[in-house]
Chains A and B, each alone.
Chain A
Amino acid sequence: MKALIAFLKRYWVVLRRPSVHYSLGTLTLGGFIAGIFFWGGFNTALEATNTEAFCISCHEMSSNVYVEIKDTIHYSNRSGVRATCPDCHVPHKWTDKIARKMQASKEVWGKIFGTISTRDKFLAMRRELAEHEWARLKANDSLECRNCHAFDYMDFTRQSPRAAQFHSTALANGEATCIDCHKGIAHRLPDMRGVPGW
């Protein structure tokens, strides 16, 4: 421990001392260029984890939730527009995205220790996992839904009477948000006992 503190101290002294060998220009320009590389690298790596290919590179995702979305309208439909995992599960704004990515470190932990490494483990945990997503979408007013399904551009005359009825009342006055009614639209539902509205 003492050695470590001494080691850190030595580096701290070096960092505090003004540069002797390099000009201010070199340091500034070098720092700028290094900054571009680091930031670019960071962002590229971040975006790489934000692809469906990355998500389903783990069997936990590819053999459970990814199989299930394939049956739904968010994967296959008449016009071929589809949602990929990050479209719904990762916020699009940078700060929110970073916050979510930090939360996702828990998922790395889960992967390493095999928290949902088998189908049975996954099913046993499904309610908890689903509740996390419901809570997230409830808290941000279904932001990821609204990235595509914007309320302002909904044409109630093109909706079924039932849909128009609910969207023009409960959704319009903010009483309910998308996830309150539209649960289990892209994946199968967990045991729904005790969930409000079920």
Chain B
Amino acid sequence: MKLHYLPVLLFATLGLAIAADPQPVGKPVAAAPDYPLDAPAPSGRRPGGTLTQEFTPPPLHDEENKDIRRERNYPEQPPTIPHAIRGYQVDINGNKCLACHSRAASVQAQAPMISITHYTDREGQTLAAVAPRRYFCTQCHVPQQDVKPLVENGFKNIDVLLQHELPPGSNQQR
């Protein structure tokens, strides 16, 4: 027998063996779970539909670019960015935000200087330059878009709460 028939023969044998192999009988088929696999999506950020359904994404909006400072909801809130920041590079090579908001640049740009908290490390030690943990501005500061909020917000700021605390007619300063 010529040797080059050998692979063909081997394949044929293998094929027969596979074909002859009886199907495993009684293998447990996964029972349908008693919970819906395609659950309705939580309403709010993604209203309607089910989890696996795909929707056309909502249109993108421009960042608000009015350059007018917005009110903060509480004193510790990182102020939101009142201008567009498209293409601002913030990485190991440079920080575009600091080109205006750094201590030295804020004079010429008349931009608010980053606060003293940005110069302290987590132990409260003051550093010579912006602390690495404060370097990536958009971790806390973000631009805003003029859109309808996706979820309703019942937040009341402290001034409103204090108003309710005061007994009516009281002359106490808040």
Contacts and interface: CB of A to CB of B under 8 A. Distances in A.
B67 A162 contact: yes
Mostly helix, strand, loop or mixed at chain A's interface? loop
A192 B94 contact: yes
Contacts of B92: 191
B87 A160 contact: no
B65 interface: yes
B66 interface: yes
B127 to A, nearest CB: 17
Contacts of B99: 197-198
B60 to A, nearest CB: 11
A198 B67 contact: no
Interface string B62-91: 000111000000000000000110110100
Nearest to A170: B108
Interface in B93-126: 93-96, 98-99, 105
Contact of B93 (A72, A190, A197): A190
Contacts of B96: 184
Mostly helix, strand, loop or mixed at chain B's interface? loop
A46 interface: no
A73 B86 CA distance: 9
A23 to B, nearest CB: 66
Contacts of A190: 93
A188 B89 contact: yes
B84 A191 contact: no
Contacts of B87: 71-73, 185
A197 B86 CA distance: 19
Interface of A: 71-73, 160-162, 184-185, 188-192, 195, 197-198
7 contacts: A72-B87, A160-B65, A160-B84, A162-B67, A185-B87, A189-B94, A198-B99
